[in-house]
Each structure stands twice: as structure tokens, then as C-alpha cells.
Chains A and B, each alone.
Chain A
């Protein structure tokens, strides 16, 4: 290259003193990029652009590497730093910290990714080195335009909202309340308890679910710091971390809770019986006025208005007549309560896959095919059969039972994932059937997934008890008999893959271990809270491995099955973890928010409102009086959508201003532009 250096279009020379640090990252970068050449080029070519020192080092993120930067800031009076290394996701905080320690505003440090963007995606060394130079040059031009920023400090309201009163929500609420802080526990059913309250026994210990859950429920109900809002739903969420304003709709119970003693006479006397398809999973009945189960917390019943004879036809009112303390009040209306909280934990749980979709298993058409939740109700001592395992006629004890794993799971036709708990659940069912009926039990599985503590030992136990295992995914459950021994039975047709042949096994009863799915309204709820969920509806954690209880929205945490199927130990752990994160935030009193965010220049804003509905984080508000838009700094995540959308160019991002981006582009092109005449000369 012999021609004179090209002058960048409009860029004047700068007074800033820039230090460039090129990392080898062992051989991760140095194996493809000629680091020394990049260092030298920066030092020579970019000297005119303000670079006063250019170094390379094997591992910039190490203490020694950081010290290089700190020393140069102090000794050479650097005003800007460029670190050419890995992706900012990994070490931006590290190098910003180094700058801060040396007295330089951390937002005057720019990361240039020459690993993820260069050495990891190219094999041509010469081209990679040129690209690294270009990336560094771009970073240099950009950092010149950077301004010193200060993080925002936002106070944290000490109250917390926990949505979902299952075991995850209860655990989180108890832990936060134990630390002395207020919790609003919102639950849409009349009682807290969640799915765990439906079970009979829990694996692998065979603890009675109610016995271990109800003490927690009672504690949650009695704790002065926990405000239970059952038969309620969140309808509106405004605000940002530390300062959420949440509106909760408290549906009318038509019961005056101050007077109600929970005696249950209303439920006894109510003449309207209907199928309970929530708590009893469709296998039992309840009344129009009901508490879902005897140990309900709170103990107050609710009236199911669409099914109440009084509300639908104007007659009856029997409950009112018989209620000893006169606690029935048909005139109640839904109430709305607005609360202020600093953090939110979403623990709304799961819904069961509907096996009616798998027509070949006959659920719904064949009487003696049951879902896992239906079976739980059968085995539950407080269930519709008082714990007897009987067939659909309510009396016959089965002599053979088939339990099918993976119904609706691990299946691209329904749900592609494994539901984590079905193998253990199926083993538990096998054990219970054996114990209570002595029936012959078959389990049909693809793989046996018994991964956690004491799980495989439980499998051993069930094997010892004599349950027969067939490795094969059931093809059909049918009542069309072929042989005499199949008459009147349900025939499970399956390939016994280990024996290598198709088998038809007649059984009396079939239990389907159905998949766990996100709640039917999960996506709507996610939208309400402004968090993201995957295509199937599981909520997205901030990082699947390293941050499983946080979300990308500051101040909103998740716990339990809302992010994906998991067993009770993991659910409880997540509830506790979310509580710990919230407590940590509360203790800090205030938090720092990244200053990389958009701001509206209100002198340029014409009030067109194009940006208003674009913000994925609900961070934009419109001032009707002044007809201008404002970005709420605490909510803004700096995604840049509004910046791009604004037709007047009135929105700019601190940390990603238009000037910075334009300069960066010109820096990136510098090397190419210089090389071009040489290439043209060759072609001529």
C-alpha cells in the first residue's frame, strides 16, 4: 500500500486519546487472526484517528490483561478504550469495570468482537486479519463519539407480587414473607394449592401430597405479610422494575368472607351438581357453590355464577337460606384492587395435554381409558372414589392395568419435548395399582427417565414389585377384539421392541401419562406482563443454564412449570431461587439500570405516535397535553426499534446514537477503501 491514506468523508481528527487492546484469546483469535499485525496497523494507521497506544495480550480478560488497560489509562491519560476480543456478552462488564477502577467512565470503553464475528466464522487468515482491522477501526471511530454515561438509580418497592398459588408460588411467597416483606399472592382458583393438591402420593418418597402441601398452604394463609387474593386474576400491569402498578380483578365470591365460617352447609344443601373439570379433572362432581377440596385455603367457598340456578333462572337461593351466619350475598360485584410492587414472580404452572387429540388411544370414546390427572383423583383418598382404584363404572376393580408413557410428549405431531415427570409418575401409578388392587400392571415406555435422587431406586422398587415393562410406544388402544381373550377388554397394541415383535395385550384399564403443556392462556398472560415465551408457550428464562429464574424483563421472575415441565423438588427450588433474587433486590433498596437506552428529542418529536405501539417493553408513553412522546428510561432496554421507526429521527440512543453508528460504518470501510485503488490497478 503506497498511496496516501484516504481521508474519511467528514471525520475530523480527534483530541481523544484512544488505547487499543487486541486479545489473542489463546489460539481462539490468534489461530486465525494475525494479532500482531492488527496491533501494528492500529498503532500506525489509526494514530491519525487518535490511537496513542496499541497492545496485544494472550488473555485480556485476565487480571494482568486488565491491569494493562488500567495502567495505560492512568499513565497515558487515555480518554477512550477499545478492546478487540470476544463478544461483549461475555466480558463487556469486565473491561468496563477495569476502566472504572482506573477512573475512566465505563461507557467510554468499546468492545470489538474479533472472535465471534471474525476468528470463529472465517478460515481464510489473510481475509480474517483484514476484517479484524476493519472491526477495530470501526470501534475506534464509534468510541470517539461515545459520551460518559451514568447508570440510572431506581428505588425498589419492598412489596412483591406472586402470580400463581401452586407449590412454586407458595414457596416463593413464604420465603419473602419470612424475611419480613409483604407479598400479594394471586390465584385464579378459589383456593391455593395448584396441581399438587390434586395428587395422592408424590414420587419418589410416596409422601402424601396433601400432607406435605397443606401445612405450607396454611402457613401462607396465616402469614400476616402474605395477602391472599384467591379467585382473582391480574388484569393490568404498568410500570417497571422496582415500581410496578398492578391491577387485580377479585371475582365476586358471593360470600361475605368476614362472616363465613367455612362450615360447608351451603355446599351440602346446594341442589345443583355438576362435573368438576378443574380440581376433579372431570372425574368427579361439585356443587354450584363450592370449595374445591376440604383443606382449601382460604376456606371460603365461591358461587360458580354461570352454573348457579339463582343467577341463571332467578330461583333457588337454598344456600342463602341455610347459611348459619348469613354469609351469602348475591349482590356482590367483582372488585378491582391496585397494588404497588417492586418485583413480580410468575408461577402459573401447567395444563395437561388433552389426550382426546390422540384418537388412537381412545380417550373419551373408550370408557376405561384415563388420563394421569384423572388417575390421581382416583387414587386420592378424598377423591370421587375415596381412593379406590376402580373402572369407569365406579365399582369394578381392574385385574390388569396398562400405563402408557409419553402421551403427547416427544412427538412431533403434538409436543416435541419430554415432559420430564411422566416416567416417574407412571412408576408411581404402577406402584399404587399393585399396592391397592394387586392387579397385573404393564408399563409401556420408550426410554426410562429416572434421573434425579432416589429416582432410579424407585424404578428398582417397582421392578421388584412385579410390574411388567414393555419397551415400545403404544400404537393403539382398541376395543375391537380379535381373539376370545380380548373380548370385553381394552387391547393395547404395541411392538415389544426388545422382544422384536408386535403384541396385543388385553387389559381392563389404561392410564395415559399425558404431556405437560403451557397454560392455555399462557401467551396472553405473557403479553400482559411483557415477557417473552417460546412458540409453544413456555416462558423464556433469561439464560437457560445460568439464569433459570429471571426473565429478560427486569423485575419479573419465573418459577416452576411455567418455564417447562419439572418435578416438585425443582419447582420448589425455583420458587426459593426466585424469592432469593427478589429479596436481594429489595435489600439493595435501589438498583442500577443500564444507561444504554433511547431518548426522545422532544423538540423534534412531531407527535405522530408511530413509535408508541412498537415498544416491546411498554417503555413509551405519550403526553397528550404536549403531544410528544417520552421514553421511560427504567423500562427501556435499548433495543433500538423506536429509533429506527421515528420518521423525524427524533429518537436517539445513548450508547448507540446515529452519529456513533455512522462513524462506525466509516471506520469499517476505511480499510476496504484504501485497498480498492490497488485492486483496480491490478485489473486495468
Chain B
């Protein structure tokens, strides 16, 4: 029984983050998901359109919602992979539900194009949410043929999926654990990663190199601090910053970080036994070859940098006063 979803790829997944799209398409059957593209969708506006005009941005997104709502494929769920696309679609729908005034204005604008959208008629969700809450960890576990045993994975969420989270799908804005759950289900070792939902900088690379590379450096250094072999991302912008711009960041600070960053669906694909090339491996800037080679998997080389030597191991567990039990009962989001 395949679950059907309306799918909004977004500009990045089509090209800059092609491995993301390829890997999603590669694993969808194993997950029991069918994806139907929204017909003739337009750009969601990212963080640029609202900077010029918030009202215009809502109208821009409104066209996508209207087109999606028109396609009845047996599902009212609109799924996005890119965090910004997801946020923008969810935000417009949320604000249209909250403010009848805005809904009227957006529908007025849509009317000029012969479209209309009733707020709340679609539910906007991200792949991470769908995989955890609809597909379920059991199914993911059962699809694994090559467990990623021994691979130390840093799970990077970025900002716009865990925050502001209008529909409260994530219990913890600061320290979510869903991605870790998926990686664990694929057999990987997940590391503690305090920077997991800190900002990658978004488009700051185009504004100020110093600020942008500083933000990227923090994340990469954080992953390295906890000895990650590889980092996974769920957003094309984040992945671009952490991957392509990791190289530029190293040049800027004269550092030698080597933390390959791929999309989480790519690692899922590996665990499901799919062909690495088809999953988009080889197209990253910071090569993942060595990291995956460590656990006996052969993925294509990408002309990346020379991996830097591993940092010394961390101090062993301390004796002394007792630590509080984590996670705390009831009010804290712990193991999924």
C-alpha cells in the first residue's frame, strides 16, 4: 500500500541539490511513498522575496498552494524537502488560517491569475516528519540491507524545520532527535552534536564572507569536536553551505576541516542497498568516499580535498557527583 503525497521540489532540489532529489526518488518505493509533483510550481521566494514584500511573498507561495490543492491525488498533504520551501509553504498557509484579512488579500491576488486557495485545505509537511510519523521507524529498519554499523553520523537539522514550527510537529526547537532516530534505524552511530540546529548562515555567503564562513566553521568544527565521520543534512541550502562552502571556508580561515556532508536520504539509500551513483554520491565537494569506505562501502570519489588527520580522542567518562538522568520524564523530548 503506497501512501500518496503531493510533492513540491523547490528550485534547489532540481539542480543545486540534485543528489537530494535523486536519493528521495531512489528510496521512495522502499518507504512505500508515492510522490506527485505539483504541476508548474513556482519558486517559493526563499528568504529573498519576503525581504522585498511580505504580501507579495504570500501571493507567490499562494500560487503553489492553489495549484497543489487543485490536484487531487488522494492526498491533502503537501511534502517539501527544502527547509525554506517547507517553511514558506507552511507559513503562508498558517497565516492565511490565522488572518481572514490576509486570506482575502491573497485570494484576491490569486484571483488575478484565475486561482484560489482555501487556507487549511492542505497540510504542509517536511520529509523528516513524514518518514518518522507516517512511514515509521519499523518500516525504515525493515528496509535496511546494509546497516551503517560503525559510521559516526552528525545529524544536522538547520533552522527552519525545527523552528518556528507553526504546527508543532517537533517537540524540541533546540535539540530535536528525529533525524538521529532515522540514522540509528539505519544502523549508524549518532554522535552528540550541540550545533545540530544552529544556523548555517543561509545566503550570508553572498553578503559577508566573514560572517558566513564563521557560521559554517562553527558547525563543521562542532561535528569534528564529537568525531563525526560524516554529517547529514535535510536542506539544500544547508548542504550547499556545509559542503561546497566548506572548501571556501577552509581557504578563508586557512583550516583543514574535512567533514563530508550529504543528504540524509543519501545515507538511507546506502543502507537500503541502492547504487551510490544513483544516490548522487560523487557530486559532493568534500568527498564522502573515505568516510563510507571506513565501514566497507565503496562510493565514487569526488575531486575533494585531502582528508585531515583525526583529532585526539575525548576524555573518558568522569567519576564524581551524579549527573541528572537524561532525558527527563514527560516534559523533555528524548528518544523517539
Contact = CB atoms under 8 A, between A and B. Distances in A.
A359 B321 contact: no
Contact of A364 (B217, B221, B222, B326): B326
B195 interface: yes
Indicate the member of B192, B222, B320, B326 with the most A CB atoms within 10 Å. Answer: B320
Contacts of B328: 354, 356-357, 364
B192 A365 contact: yes
A514 interface: no
Contacts of A651: none
Contacts of A444: none
A482 B172 CA distance: 25
B327 interface: yes
Given A282-B324, A359-B172, A367 B331 contact: no
Interface string B305-332: 0000000000000111111111110011
A264 interface: no
Indicate the member of B172, B322, B323, B325 with the most A CB atoms within 10 Å. Answer: B322
A683 to B, nearest CB: 37
A395 B318 CA distance: 11
Nearest to B192: A365
Nearest to B328: A356
Nearest to A369: B324
A480 B321 contact: no
A662 to B, nearest CB: 43
A521 interface: no
Given A284-B321, A359-B172, A364-B324, A480 B195 contact: yes
A392 interface: yes
Given A359-B172, A480-B194, A482-B221, A367 B318 contact: yes
A275 B172 contact: no
A245 B256 CA distance: 76
B192 A283 contact: no
A356 B329 CA distance: 10
A393 B315 CA distance: 12
A481 B225 contact: yes
Indicate the member of B321, B326, B328 with the most A CB atoms within 10 Å. Answer: B321
B174 A480 contact: no
A275 B326 contact: no
B324 A395 contact: no
Interface string A441-478: 00000000000000000000000000000000000001
Nearest to A393: B320
Given A359-B174, A481-B225, A367 B323 contact: yes
A356 B320 CA distance: 20
A363 interface: yes
The A interface, classified by DSSP as helix, strand, loop or mixed, is loop
Contact of A392 (B175, B225, B320): B320
A16 interface: no
A393 B318 contact: yes
Interface in B279-336: 318-328, 331-332
B169 interface: no
Contacts of B321: 283-284, 384-385, 392-394
A360 B218 contact: no
B194 A479 contact: yes
Given A356-B332, A359-B175, A282 B322 contact: yes
B225 A480 contact: yes
A57 interface: no
A274 B194 CA distance: 30
A181 interface: no
Contacts, number: 67
A132 to B, nearest CB: 40
A372 to B, nearest CB: 14
Contacts of A391: 320
A394 B319 CA distance: 8
A392 B317 CA distance: 11
Contact of B323 (A364, A384, A480): A364
A197 B315 CA distance: 37
Contacts of B324: 282, 356, 363-364
A285 interface: yes
Interface string A272-289: 000100000011110000
Interface in A356-412: 356-357, 359-360, 362-365, 367, 384-385, 391-395
Contacts of A362: 194
A506 to B, nearest CB: 15
Nearest to B334: A356
Nearest to A285: B322
A357 B333 CA distance: 9
A384 B323 CA distance: 13
A478 B194 contact: yes
Contact of B320 (A363, A364, A395): A395
Nearest to B324: A364
A371 to B, nearest CB: 8
Contacts of A275: 322
A392 B321 CA distance: 5
Contacts of A363: 324
A666 B56 CA distance: 59
Given A356-B327, A481-B225, A482-B218, A393 B319 contact: yes
Contacts of A481: 221, 225
Nearest to B173: A359
Nearest to B318: A393
A392 B324 CA distance: 11
Indicate the member of B318, B324, B331 with the most A CB atoms within 10 Å. Answer: B324
Interface in A268-311: 275, 282-285
A564 B134 CA distance: 43
26 contacts: A275-B322, A284-B321, A354-B328, A356-B327, A356-B331, A356-B332, A357-B328, A357-B331, A359-B174, A362-B194, A364-B323, A364-B325, A364-B327, A365-B194, A367-B318, A384-B321, A391-B320, A392-B320, A392-B323, A393-B318, A393-B319, A394-B320, A480-B195, A480-B218, A480-B221, A481-B225
Interface of B: 172, 174-175, 192, 194-195, 217-218, 221-222, 225, 318-328, 331-332
Given A356-B331, A395-B320, A480-B222, 12 more contacts: A284-B321, A285-B322, A356-B324, A356-B328, A364-B325, A364-B326, A364-B327, A365-B192, A367-B318, A367-B323, A391-B320, A394-B321
